[in-house]
Structure 1
Amino acid sequence: MITTYDTPAEAMTTITDGWYNRLAASLNLSVQHFQLLQPPGVPVSDQTFWACFNVVPPATLKYNRWYYQQPTFFSQYAAVVNALSFPEGAFVKDIGAETYAQWQAYLKTLSPPPPANTLPTVWFQWAVVNAPSVANIGRSDLATQLLISGAQAVLEPYEGPDAKPADFSPSFSDLQNTLRASSGTNFFFDSADEDPDVSNSWVPGDDPNYFGIWTGSSAAFHISRKFASSRITVSIQFDHFTTMAVTPGQWYNSALLHQAWASQSTPPWIDSSDWQTYFGAGGSLTYAVGSILAADGIALTLTSDAEFTQTEQTLIKSLVAMGDWPVYCPITSTAVSNTITTGPGSTTIQFKSEPGNPVVLGFNVFDVRSYVGAG
């Protein structure tokens, strides 16, 4: 099925959805996870690289960073960790006051006292003999206590006025090395032939486009509509490209996030309504970035047969440094260049990134259920 758009304001959405499908097909990306990043990231260090994907991505095929003001993944994870607790009183309630007293008496006979990380095992070995009916729930309670306290202790150095920066893997140099060892590709886009149907993607239907012909322009501008309604061809070359998994650093505990997602009760939540705040419909931690698409040595040549007026041509030329469709990459350093030539019925835009300067073009996004390994 080919999706059609009835109003001129949707012309940019049509060609961008076609570009999305062409990029996914050419690079073997799954439309069940892939998300375009607009503008793309051009990192120069670990911190700028990690900042590209330290985000809770919105539910959109085209993550326009000027439009969506998304929280960082770190901030939401930290908020979840600090919203969890398993008080000793909950443990007493689950195993019974009499059993708890017996358990405490037993612990006092052990010299030296068992380390905290062994208590679930020590409890279970004692309870299968002395309190078999609550052996399992007691072990689970103690394991949850240990999980929460451990995660909070590890997170503590990353919070507060002297906080360590939230790190991730890979590093920027890892990305550069991986790209150098990766293959390249060439492919071609023709707006007359591309299919803009995204109804089978992870965000089905009309996923709007917020930029027009250049970064920051409206998709509803007359000049953007004229551009999008023309025949557009794009020749693309990547010297190297890779899809690379990204993972949080030592501050992150995947088991705890799974525990938080899997239980809506109190405990482990201090306030049971917080589950909805983070994981419910419209919650602030419903998606996460699992991997990134990056390319190095990009050469992209776009042609349009739009009949731009002299005034429109002058405007496009004056704003070419802002970055143009389809990558919207502003010129922020000598690593990136955008050039344009115009004439009657012909506009050519060339985008290049210098070798050795990775460009992060998009993400593979997972809902939080999948991200925490729950299905």
Structure 2
Amino acid sequence: MATPKNFLDLQNGFYNALAQGLGYSNQDPFQVIQPSPPLASGADADALLWAYLNNIPVASLTQNTVFSGGNQFLANYQGVMSALQAAPNQFKSTIGQNCYNDYVAARKAKEVGPTPAEFRDWAMLCDPCSAVATSGASALARAMLDPVFAAQNNVLPYKPAGTEPVDFMPGYQKMLTLLKAAPSRSFSVSANSWQSDVSRTWTQGSNSGFFGLWGGSSSESTLSQKFASSGVGLQASFENVLPFNATPGNWYSSAAFGMAFNNPNKKPWDPEAAINWETTFGKSGNLQRFATSLLIANKMAITVQSAATYNEQEQQEIRNNSGAGMWPFYSTSSSSGSSTSVAFNTSGNMVVQITSKPDVPVVIGCIVLSAAQYLGHEAEVSKYFLTQFYG
């Protein structure tokens, strides 16, 4: 227990305090998520919630979440599916090249579903597929028994990446119902009681990419270091905290993905494909780990007390930038449900208040599993499917 020497010490101390306050041990694969804007209800509520699950976590105790076109579950998964070879089947030869091309286009346009019955109903109404509607449905039924073929077929409507919402189950409304029934959590840390040792955590202490005193600031800046090293006390309470678990939608196949993971450099991988096991699951792979559970808070109240003495110029600089949110969650003041305020006493000491309104969820962390943990249970199933379809 000690006063942090720098901002990294403070961030590590906050990680330990938050993890313990939420009921996790130092050995659990917990990750702090920053910044933490509220998840407002509305038309985009599901999409924003699922974006956290679609984001691939970095190997850091703190995740500075940026939703971009890269490093996302669905897009990277699509790449894997394109690099796998389905077992030989008669579907394409049964319906012919022209009908097959029309079917693939219809699947991408969501004009027809993946099941044999849906193929039959669609084929009966269009040329040149009407003549092979029944035989094609039978051939498709046989082909869909292969997990790789079925997975490639199911993900077709989600191509190209970004044109289809990334769905997980359940959605926002179910999450909100569960959140209201979740237990409360609270913790506090005095200025000289921070525990900054993170050497035994799931990243062996790796913690990077976090902001400084305010959102977007550098943790190495003069003001950030002054804040961190001059004594910081924190009180935090959450009326409810929910470990929210959700599973990918119909675009995802654990069977096919498990076959890919458990058979490095073997079938069903296409040896000619640019994407392979190493680029996916290896040391530099883009699907090494997954956010399997989001830690979502309701009605949070955070008080941060800084013992540093800030002169008038420093106070003004902090006030001018506080709109970007303040450590530790960088929740900005907004009509959607959060508030951040900064005040200074006559001695120049600072108090930061961060709150969120009731029934306005805030994502504050997640549980991260490695690909081996995420897909470990598929090992025996993978062997079975590989034998059944590839000999």
Task: Provide the C-alpha distance between the structure 2 equivalents of 1:371 and 1:292, rounded to a whole number of angstroms.
Answer: 15
- Counterpart check, 1:43 vs 2:45: no
- Counterpart check, 1:274 vs 2:270: no
Task: Provide the C-alpha distance between the structure 2 equivalents of 1:63 and 1:358, rounded to a whole number of angstroms.
Answer: 18
- 2:36 corresponds to which letter in structure 1? P
- Structure ID, larger Rg: 1
Task: Provide the C-alpha distance between the structure 2 equivalents of 1:113 and 1:209, rounded to a whole number of angstroms.
Answer: 52
- Which secondary structure state, in structure 2, belongs to the residue aligned with residue 255 of structure 1? helix
CA contact under 8 A between 2:74 and 2:161: conserved in structure 1?
no
- 1:361 corresponds to which letter in structure 2? I
- Which secondary structure state, in structure 2, belongs to the residue aligned with residue 331 of structure 1? coil
Q: CA deviation at 1:177?
A: 0.6
Change (3 A) 1:299 1:146: same
Partner of 1:224: 224
Change (3 A) 1:66 1:163: closer
- 2:188 corresponds to which letter in structure 1? F
Q: What is the aligned-residue identity percentage?
A: 30
Partner of 2:94: none
Task: Provide the C-alpha distance between the structure 1 equivalents of 2:258 and 2:329, rounded to a whole number of angstroms.
Answer: 35
Partner of 2:64: 64
Partner of 1:34: 30
CA contact under 8 A between 2:214 and 2:330: conserved in structure 1?
yes
- Which secondary structure state, in structure 2, belongs to the residue aligned with residue 261 of structure 1? helix
Worse-superposed segment, 66-75 or 317-326: 66-75
Question: Which of residues 17, 20, 40 in structure 1 aligns to 2:12?
Answer: 17
CA contact under 8 A between 1:40 and 1:329: conserved in structure 2?
yes
- Counterpart check, 1:240 vs 2:240: yes
Deviations 1:311-363 (A, max 9, x none): 00011111112111111122343411101111324110000101111000011
CA contact under 8 A between 2:7 and 2:225: conserved in structure 1?
yes
Partner of 2:159: 159
Task: Provide the C-alpha distance between the structure 1 equivalents of 2:172 and 2:211, rounded to a whole number of angstroms.
Answer: 28
Deviations 1:266-305 (A, max 9, x none): 4211137611110111111000011010001011111111
- Which secondary structure state, in structure 2, belongs to the residue aligned with residue 175 of structure 1? helix
Task: Provide the C-alpha distance between the structure 2 equivalents of 1:178 and 1:233, rounded to a whole number of angstroms.
Answer: 31
Structure 2: tracts of 5 or more residues without a match: 90-134, 380-391
Task: Provide the C-alpha distance between the structure 1 equivalents of 2:19 and 2:161, rounded to a whole number of angstroms.
Answer: 42
How large is the RMSD of aligned CA atoms in angstroms?
2.8
Partner of 2:358: 355
- Which secondary structure state, in structure 1, belongs to the residue aligned with residue 166 of structure 2? coil
Worse-superposed segment, 167-176 or 329-338: 329-338
Partner of 2:312: 310
Question: Which of residues 285, 297, 300 in structure 1 aligns to 2:299?
Answer: 297
CA contact under 8 A between 2:241 and 2:297: conserved in structure 1?
yes
Change (3 A) 1:17 1:69: farther
- 1:162-201 equivalent positions in 2, closer than 5 A: 163-201=163-201
CA contact under 8 A between 2:51 and 2:166: conserved in structure 1?
no
- 1:201 corresponds to which letter in structure 2? T
- Which secondary structure state, in structure 2, belongs to the residue aligned with residue 292 of structure 1? strand
Q: CA deviation at 1:70?
A: 5.3
Structure 1: tracts of 5 or more residues without a match: 90-111, 120-141
Change (3 A) 1:157 1:118: closer
- 2:371 corresponds to which letter in structure 1? V
CA contact under 8 A between 2:168 and 2:246: conserved in structure 1?
yes
Give aligned pairs, total. 326
Q: CA deviation at 1:256?
A: 1.0
Task: Provide the C-alpha distance between the structure 1 equivalents of 2:303 and 2:3, rounded to a whole number of angstroms.
Answer: 26
Task: Provide the C-alpha distance between the structure 1 equivalents of 2:2 and 2:258, rounded to a whole number of angstroms.
Answer: 38
Task: Provide the C-alpha distance between the structure 1 equivalents of 2:285 and 2:12, rounded to a whole number of angstroms.
Answer: 26
Task: Provide the C-alpha distance between the structure 2 equivalents of 1:206 and 1:168, rounded to a whole number of angstroms.
Answer: 29
Question: Which of residues 327, 330, 348 in structure 2 aligns to 1:328?
Answer: 330
Task: Provide the C-alpha distance between the structure 1 equivalents of 2:264 and 2:3, rounded to a whole number of angstroms.
Answer: 42
- Which secondary structure state, in structure 1, belongs to the residue aligned with residue 292 of structure 2? strand
Task: Provide the C-alpha distance between the structure 1 equivalents of 2:352 and 2:162, rounded to a whole number of angstroms.
Answer: 46
Task: Provide the C-alpha distance between the structure 2 equivalents of 1:64 and 1:256, rounded to a whole number of angstroms.
Answer: 31
TM-score, L = length of structure 1: 0.80
TM-score, L = length of structure 2: 0.77
- Which secondary structure state, in structure 2, belongs to the residue aligned with residue 319 of structure 1? helix
Partner of 1:366: 369
CA contact under 8 A between 1:213 and 1:325: conserved in structure 2?
yes
Change (3 A) 1:345 1:67: farther
Task: Provide the C-alpha distance between the structure 2 equivalents of 1:354 and 1:52, rounded to a whole number of angstroms.
Answer: 21
Change (3 A) 1:152 1:186: same
- Which secondary structure state, in structure 2, belongs to the residue aligned with residue 152 of structure 1? helix
Worse-superposed segment, 228-237 or 80-89: 80-89
